[in-house]
Structure 1
């Protein structure tokens, strides 16, 4: 069964998030400490002991949610049996997914989401916009109402979250009027406690500022294929990151489309990585056939997840599969003929060969995986092809041991 990791966005925060991981994992603790050093305040204190009002501020919430998500991801990947084939994140969670994929360094991601959070905080100051969640009406019905002359250009769909939930953004007065219309049509409407019309054309200036900031950040090869909220498809290249993330500020979040993409490719093992279980609960309400939906918000959930996964291949056979994958991967680095390049590839190949000869080695699968990723980096393997390679390895039963 193929696996996708899902990262939640803003709204998933709560006091105490990440505390059990922090207390039980050195990797998680170091992640919090790294974020604190960059931000200049204690992320752990804010997450564990701060006030909810403070933690809900976008300029605090976004770095904290990303920190918890990456801490949980790092802990999970120490123990996870199989590599994920896809990563996806809801709104802010897309940046967490890109960070987990290796496209963004953690330090750059923390600075980016702090900047993004400050932009969104500033966008709320005049309180001219807001958002509403609507249950019980189809997106088609909601879209039709938004296009009525009275609301055209004033209210737009901002989140296609599921078959049961659609979110709209717009001007406060227009939202107040259209809310009554949605109720008359049989919808259940919840006004969201935000002061901005996020994921809508009203965020154009904010999107332009974010695009400029993204232009100053270096991006790197993706180890896993990441789905875009804007297209509901995998990123074709890291060069698309600035445009896709800035467009996300003014375009609707196509989360339902991302889930549909995974279902069409039989990616049925869905694991929410980060605070809370907002995405998991949303997926469970969809009653997706054949899907295994889990979250790892706490140490207990993580241990349960690991316990349910039994190794299917170990030792020399397992390492040989990594070696085969490395040998068969197409080389996209057409200029990689220098002695430095050959040495960079040869070293990891030698390590894989040694592991295959040695058999069971403590931490061997983690070493083999790192060597494979290094070779794929040297070969400039695109994210989609890399995902296919990892998928084939997973099907053959390669595992990762603690």
Structure 2
């Protein structure tokens, strides 16, 4: 009897699938279309390190399992009589049995992976060396009724699942009872337990439109450890999320059909083969012991049976391989967990390669495994939606300071970089898009900034049309106080109905906000007046208008506190929770199918600040000022030299060119430049006088010679070249508006001269910057990152995330009373 067994998570490794993708090109292309990324690149090269992310691991393993099965059929001399899969592998088994086609199975697995990646907080642990009966008894006697059994992997390998506190408390209980190993698993949720009920309900609803067929070969259910009934296929897959994987009983059932059954593993690795050998050994020993009882009247023969049973059990492979016999999938995970990746002192000396708990391999146990990693921080759906390895955004900086090289480096590292398009011409922005897309040709993440232009809405609309035409899928909206037509149009033109009848979007809007009321506008559906206007003008279709009414304008919100540039000087600890609570209420009120993510920005320049943001509930973090002082930043070396010496206290507030008339302020570097003082003086003169002619002669001369370095007339003509028609009209009619245009010329010049590194303007550089950079400089002092030439935006992002995770682990240990 031939049985095909399909592995689940824990078997993945970089390079899996090999030549299969080329052999099954049509299915590979179908997978790419469904997933939105290259499955071949993920499995063979994994350039962004996403293969260990549950949302990516599950589709990858399903595809490789399926292609391996199809390849095996080409050379097989006989057909399998049965199929079974461990957890995720069950989908591969059902595909092999014809219960659904390749694409349907992949869509199911993709959704399952996303739901599990977003599982509620919890923990899991493997208990080695005790029987399942003993574990049940110990949990009952220990009062740990909040813990469920997640996996019956083998007779002496069981995985438990439940609240973190309960899993931690159970360790001493099992070790005292004689467990040879108790291994907390590096997972984000309590999988295969009662705590996955919400995910189960969502998945059950997701499966309803799909049609399943009767399996052509018998598939053994994880939940029942018995053959699937045709009318129970969907129920079984839904129940699997909250029920234990009965792998031991599954293999024993198959061996009971034929003790000499040929159980062949179809897929990467040999995880299931090892478990099967352990189960088969116990099964054979049981049969020998039963035979011993039957032949008790023949003592010599019974003794031989007893000896044989003991030998079978003694010859079982150890549950936990060691040394050079570690499985390939462990080595693949270890490449992502190296000492040099952990600059702090909390490098985990014990690691478990485990997502669905099939193979448990422990490293030396001088220290406990870290509960938190750089990749586990943040919202899993956010990372999956943007194809990120880390929940990290390098935000936009004006006039291409967040440059093409900066965005490309971040994208290749699995971070989201936003190009700073504010202040650039459309042709310059178009060129930047072409360069980024040419560099990130494999679908790596990137985004483009959209700076609000209340003085020139036509330019804003032209820019979003450019983005839509060029296939830009991520826009970071900044400096908005209200929702505009341009943003709503961009949102609408990216909407479509997918094959499952759900509204999906090709265009994502991430908005920076400094006030809760602005956040509320963007977390609400588009204003009805704007939707009707766009519909009446034929700019959007009727179905797009209807879809807009059930979606928030923004997919993600950055709560921006004390940042460089435009800021309301808010405190992260106040602003972030307020907006997050508002988000929760709006999601409930409007019944959104998808949760809006709220990230933290402003003031993040050290691991402690990043960790604080995540502890406050941030789904991701966004940095800005620290990236301005990197090798890739599109500003002058002179500015970078100045910024590399900045301290926390070296920042100041100065009038904003965009909001000069209303007294708006921006945060800038104050050390080494007269700009904040001179800009403030101009703002005061503007408030006190009605025209340039009203200024006294000495003041007029000082501004023209020391500030502008040109006459008022020359400054006015230059300012007109960059002004809108409305601004010029006001200036021609109103002397005070003319004065504002001339004074803003100094602000614009100071910013441009800083970008150019003009040495004659060094004392007047305007450099948008927040105190986060000063904090970073202090943290990096005395290290290789002290000089800006050694700083790279992608490396800073990964370093902050790794150190934040390490710092959190140390703090939790300290608060729990551990050294």
Q: TM-score, normalised by structure 2?
A: 0.34
2:574 paired residue number: none
Asked if residue 178 in structure 1 is aligned to residue 170 in structure 2, the reply is: yes
2:18 paired residue number: 19
Please give the residue correspondences for 1:3-402 in structure 2 after superposition, counting only pairs within 5 Å: 3-22=2-21, 26-27=23-24, 29-51=25-47, 53-124=49-120, 128-148=121-141, 150-152=143-145, 154-187=146-179, 188-237=181-230, 239-266=231-258, 268-288=261-281, 289=284
Contact kept in structure 2, 1:210 and 1:246, CA below 8 Å: yes
Higher helix share: 1
- Give, in whole Å, the separation in 1 of the partners of 2:132 and 2:151: 10
Aligned length: 283
SS at match of 2:233: helix
Extract structure 1 runs of 4+ deviating beyond 6 A. Answer: none
SS at match of 1:253: coil
Q: 1:51 to 1:167 in 2, by over 3 A?
A: farther
Q: Whose relative contact order is higher, 1 or 2, with alpha carbons under 8 Å and at least 6 apart?
A: 1
1:312 paired residue number: none
Offset at residue 149 of structure 1 (A): 5.8
- State the Cα RMSD in Å: 1.9
Contact kept in structure 2, 1:15 and 1:52, CA below 8 Å: no
- Give, in whole Å, the separation in 1 of the partners of 2:29 and 2:186: 30
SS at match of 1:159: strand
Offset at residue 53 of structure 1 (A): 4.2
Q: Deviations over 1:285-330 (max 9, x none)?
A: 345459xxxxxx9xxxxxxxxxxxxxxxxxxxxxxxxxxxxxxxxx
Q: 1:37 to 1:193 in 2, by over 3 A?
A: same
Offset at residue 33 of structure 1 (A): 2.7
Offset at residue 39 of structure 1 (A): 1.1
Q: Which has the larger radius of gyration?
A: 2
Offset at residue 135 of structure 1 (A): 0.9
Return 5+ residue gaps in structure 1 as ranges.
291-296, 298-402
Contact kept in structure 2, 1:227 and 1:233, CA below 8 Å: yes
Offset at residue 139 of structure 1 (A): 0.3
Q: 1:166 to 1:7 in 2, by over 3 A?
A: same
Offset at residue 19 of structure 1 (A): 1.2
Contact kept in structure 2, 1:68 and 1:274, CA below 8 Å: yes
SS at match of 1:46: helix
Offset at residue 57 of structure 1 (A): 1.1
Q: Deviations over 1:309-355 (max 9, x none)?
A: xxxxxxxxxxxxxxxxxxxxxxxxxxxxxxxxxxxxxxxxxxxxxxx
Offset at residue 52 of structure 1 (A): 7.9
SS at match of 1:208: helix
Offset at residue 32 of structure 1 (A): 2.5
Q: 1:51 to 1:140 in 2, by over 3 A?
A: farther
Contact kept in structure 2, 1:123 and 1:206, CA below 8 Å: yes
Offset at residue 66 of structure 1 (A): 0.3
Offset at residue 275 of structure 1 (A): 1.5
